[in-house]
Amino acid sequence: MEITGYSASILIGISLGLIGGGGSILTVPVLVYLFSVDTVLATTYSLFVVGSTSLVGSFSYFKRGFIDTKTALFFGIPSIIAVFLVRHYVLPLIPEHVMNIGSFELSRSILLMVFFAVLMVFASYSMIKKDKEEGFAITKPSNTIWIVAQGLNVGAVTGLIGAGGGFLIIPALVNLLKLPMKTAIGTSLVIIAVNSLMGFSFSLGHYPIEWTFLLTVTLIAIAGIFIGMYLSTKVDGKKLKPAFGWFVLVMGIYILVKETILK
């Protein structure tokens, strides 16, 4: 199963390099189901893997001038605040045993994986639907309020389940700030990198870290992003994005069924 896990790890990077997102949402399921990592610890590991991979991927966009630094700061500051609050105050408050529903015991691990699966289903929609360079302008409330709110939302998601949230960030940057798609992707990678690595640093000392394992998975994912960026010069990533979205949808439904009906 570990061989399958390492093979799946490279897909995390490939998807980030090829279609600019989506890979981070595979990280926790790979760690939980293929490496048998505890769910909460998997969210911590995911922050490091996603953050490191996104950081490396952002360099290519930076060299080509596809990163809006001001927007990254404007969006990122509320995100970092939300990540800190969730990792330090919200996650520790979730009890190991949440409740019983008949004979079904809802544990913290199941709750997080069900929430993650719902998020995967939601994320798959943004991948399957057709991308639009031009979005709709929201004027009430102001774009500033919406961007700050979305930053807090992304930070909460990142802090709780270790997902980068690119499927939330990119539409906000395109629709609200009217950034070109490539600039939105590059800026999104920077925001994801900072959020995730800050979230990981907030968790240090709270969970045991197997550094050899974590660095191995991370390096494989980073190798994948280079493969993905190379493939992006040969294949149109936008054409592959809907197919990847359907895969994420199926995985999300599978996790929902596995964690509820098949328990």
- Each residue's pLDDT tens digit, 124-134: 887 787 655 44
- Banded model confidence at residue 6, pLDDT cuts 50, 70, 90: very high
Domain range annotation of the chain: 2-259
What are the backbone dihedrals phi and psi of residue 108, each rounded to the nearest 5 degrees, phi first? -60, -40
Which among 149, 181, 150 is positioned nearest to 165, based on CA atoms? Answer: 150
HEC letters along the chain: CHHHHHHHHHHHHHHHHHHCCCCHHHHHHHHHHHCCCCHHHHHHHHHHHHHHHHHHHHHHHHHCCCCCHHHHHHHHHHHHHHHHHHHHHHHHHCCCEEEEECCEEEEHHHHHHHHHHHHHHHHHHHHHCCCCCCCCCCCCCCHHHHHHHHHHHHHHHHHHHCCCCHHHHHHHHHHCCCCCHHHHHHHHHHHHHHHHHHHHHHHECCECCCHHHHHHHHHHHHHHHHHHHHHCCCCCHHHHHHHHHHHHHHHHHHHHHHHCCCC
Q: Is the peptide bond before 92 cis (omega within 30 degrees of 0)?
A: no
- Each residue's pLDDT tens digit, 111-165: 999 998 998 888 888 778 765 544 434 444 456 788 888 889 989 988 988 887 8
Q: Which pLDDT does position 81 carry in this prediction? A: 94
> What is d(CA 236, CA 136) in angstroms, rounded to the nearest whole number?
25
Task: Tell whether the model's pLDDT for residue 82 goes beyond 90.
Answer: yes
Question: What does the pLDDT average to over 39-56?
Answer: 92
**Interhelix angle for 181-203 vs 166-175, to 10°?**
140
pTM of the model: 0.85
Q: Which pLDDT does position 131 carry in this prediction? A: 56
- Each residue's pLDDT tens digit, 163-208: 878 777 887 788 778 888 788 888 988 998 999 999 899 888 888 8
Q: CB–CB of 21/153 below 8 Å?
A: no
- Each residue's pLDDT tens digit, 15-44: 877 776 666 788 989 999 999 999 989 999
Determine what percent of the chain is predicted with pLDDT higher than 70: 92
Mean per-residue pLDDT of the chain: 85
